[in-house]
Amino acid sequence: MSTKNRKRPYSSLVVDGNEKAPARAMLYAVGFTEEDFKKPQVGIASTWSNLTPCNMHINLLADAAAMGAEETDGKAVTFNTITVSDGISMGSPGMRYSLVSREVIADSIETVVAGEGFDGFVAIGGCDKNMPGCAMAMARLNRPSIFVYGGTIQPGKERRDIVSVFEAVGQHAAGTISDIQLKEVEATAIPGAGSCGGMYTANTMASAIEVLGLSLPNSSAQEAISDNKRQDSYEAGKTVVQLIEQDIKPSDILSKESFENAITLVIALEGSTNAVLHLLAIAHAANIPLSIDDFNRIGERVPVLADMRPAGQYSMSELIAIGGIQPLMKTLLTAGLLHGNCLTVTGKTLAENLADVEPYPANQKIIRPMTSPVKKDSHIVILRGNLAPEGAVAKITGHEGLNFTGTARCFHGEEAALAAILEGKLVTGDVVVVRYEGPRGGPGMREMLSPTSAINGCGLSGSVALITDGRFSGGSHGFVIGHITPEAFDGGPIALIEDGDKITIDAEAKTISVALTDAELSSRKAQWQPPPAYANRGVLAKYARLVSSASEGAVTDG
């Protein structure tokens, strides 16, 4: 393909003309040739690091994407951004930086792509916050771009994964497994590269981003170490050069309808509640009106069809083996639950991409038929009431029941709650209240995988509920409600609860309430004092000053 008169809407402003000789001089030193200055420049945003299995292979995928771009007569320039491992930082102070990293990733990709004048880019993410961070940057920049998912990990021994280890900690505390058995689970759960292997946040968001139209078909349903994933990266590099030629941008792809598609697929897959935060944040970046109420509206008509971990039986690798998510998308499209006219990065509509997709094998048990769902409506339920007047997010799979009434056991922070669980201090009917873990109060809205897994490991998941202004890992299951707003640090009702208060959660009525009158809540509010800020300087302090409510996606850019 000739380089003459190729579209270079941004890079031409950086490298064309005599006055840009200094810029060209710098670029010669990093490998540019005279001919390269006539080509569209393609940034390759890599989240590679050896911090975590999710991202340890992404340098190879970035190389493949760069090759694809250059073989399509673009000029690829690879750069890195950060990652924070949820699985490693979980239950520690470091987890405060996890959701913060989403903003840092989006900011850093925006900064490099805009600062260097790339005409388009490929963003490759593996761990939970990489993916929405990449998508947010794509929406903000509105330049031709494609997201590549780093791929899922293979199951460990006896089909174990990282949640197996967290739950083994609870089993060990309950005395049902020995030190040696815990060590064996620890040593065999993570066999290599890739993101956590259930329908946890990584696989949930990869699937959502694909149906949004920002990834190539099947990008979300490939193992990390596979020829398919290398080819997906290569094709993304080729395709982004074509998108530059066609001037197809995220604003041509993202719409209210495409976000409704993403919510629909997340529900059908029984995906992570983190999708609420992340889809709200991506929509905010794209200037598309999306609210938490859209999840209830869509959830009333969309069934849960996937029997996937954590609440179900199967891993992402097993779903990949029967065809991935594309046959499910076609089922939902045929049922009238997806908008098929939405444009995608292929240059075709969603319906056109799905036209030749074959159905699942007849004997598979992972994806249920529409006539026999896991749950007839959504597992993600937005609750309101005097305990969460601005909303809360419940993950109700049906296994736990639809209603819970119990007695408050209040804890200031995750560590105190986890200690009580592991010390056997909970009893049937307790509602564990973990507060001051919201976006501002945490700060950073830590995930509660350690306490929820400990509850499950101790055998209490059917008799104890947990509510928090923090959030949950995609690996959490049980009767859990998060994202309670206003958060405790802002004086929300969750800050005013006392041990012994009666709390009622009703997923059918979509309510969460504490048995206190408005007058009693007002009296307690008058006596309440906020705790000191966790940090006064640095990233966490800056985040706490800027971040919006969880019900608005916990974004930091206004």
Task: State whether 169 and 137 are in the same domain.
Answer: no
User: What are phi and psi for residue 48, nearest 5 degrees?
Assistant: -65, 140
Do residue 167 and residue 35 come from a single domain?
Answer: no
pLDDT digit string, tens, across residues 59-107: 999 999 999 999 999 999 999 999 999 889 988 899 999 999 999 999 9
Q: Answer yes or no: do 107 and 226 share one domain.
A: yes
- Amino acid 5: pLDDT: 59
Which of 255-264, 287-296, 348-357, 470-479 bottoms out in mean pLDDT, i.e. has the lowest?
A: 470-479
Query: Residue 469: which of 411, 526, 531 has the closest Cα?
Result: 411
Q: Which of 354, 388, 418 is the last residue of a domain?
A: 354
Q: Are residues 187 and 200 in the same domain?
A: no
| Domain containing residue 385: CATH number | 3.50.30.80
Q: What is the pLDDT of residue 500?
A: 98
- For the purposes of burial, counting CB atoms within 10 Å of the CB of 225, is it exposed (0-12), middle (13-18) or buried (19 or more)? middle
Residues 107 and 170 in one domain: no
* Least confident interval from 40-49, 345-354, 450-459, 495-504: 450-459
Residue 469 domain flag: yes
Are 248 and 237 within one domain? yes
Give how many domains the chain has, as a whole number. 3
Q: Using 50, 70 and 90 to split pLDDT, how confident is the model at 4?
A: low
Least confident span in 20-24, 31-35, 163-167, 491-495? 163-167
Q: Examine residue 365 and state whether it is found in any structural domain, yes or no.
A: no
> Is residue 175 located within the same domain as residue 130?
no
Same domain, 314 and 395: no
Q: Backbone phi, then psi, for 113, in 5-degree steps?
A: -60, -45
Asked whether 150 and 57 are in contact (CB, 8 A), the reply is yes
Residue 445 has pLDDT above 50, yes or no: yes
User: Which pLDDT score, from 0 to 100, does residue 1 have?
Assistant: 46
Please determine, for residue 457, whether its predicted confidence score (pLDDT) is greater than 90: no
- pLDDT: is 396 or 434 the higher one? 434
Residues 304 and 433 grouped into a single domain: no
Residues spanned by the domain of 334: 12-154+192-354
What average pLDDT does range 199-207 have in this prediction? 96
Residues 460, 471, single domain; the answer is: yes
Q: Is residue 329 part of a domain?
A: yes
Domain contains 109: yes
- pLDDT of residue 350 exceeding 90: yes
Whether 370 is in a domain gets the answer: no
Looking at every residue in the chain, the average pLDDT score rounds to: 95
Catalytic residue IDs: 473
What is the per-residue pLDDT across 315-326, written as a single tens digit (0 to 9) for each? 999 999 999 999
Boundary of a domain, candidates 167, 191, 215: 191
**E-state strands within 372-478:** 380-385, 388-395, 403-412, 430-435, 465-468
Tell me, yes or no, whether 364 lies in a domain: no
pTM of the predicted structure, to 2 decimals: 0.96
Same-domain check for residues 207 and 159: no
Q: With respect to residue 295, please indicate whether it lies within any of the assigned structural domains.
A: yes
Residue 135 lies in a domain: yes
Mean pLDDT on 449-460? 86
pLDDT at res. 521: 98
Based on the fold, state whether residues 92 and 102 are members of the same structural domain: yes
Strand ranges (DSSP E) for 471-549?
A: 479-482, 502-506, 511-514
Query: Band of the pLDDT at 163, cuts 50, 70, 90?
Result: confident
Tell me the angle at which helices 256-268 and 274-285 cross, rounded to the nearest 10 degrees. Answer: 170
Pairing type for strands 403-412 and 502-506 reads: antiparallel
Q: What is the reported pLDDT for 262?
A: 98
pLDDT digits (tens, 9 = 90+) for 362-408: 999 999 999 999 999 999 999 999 999 999 999 887 766 789 999 99
Q: With DSSP H G I counted as helix, E B as strand and the rest as coil, what are the percentages for the chain, rounded to 5?
A: 40, 15, 45
DSSP string, 107-133: HHHHHHHHHHT-SEEEEEE-STTHHHH
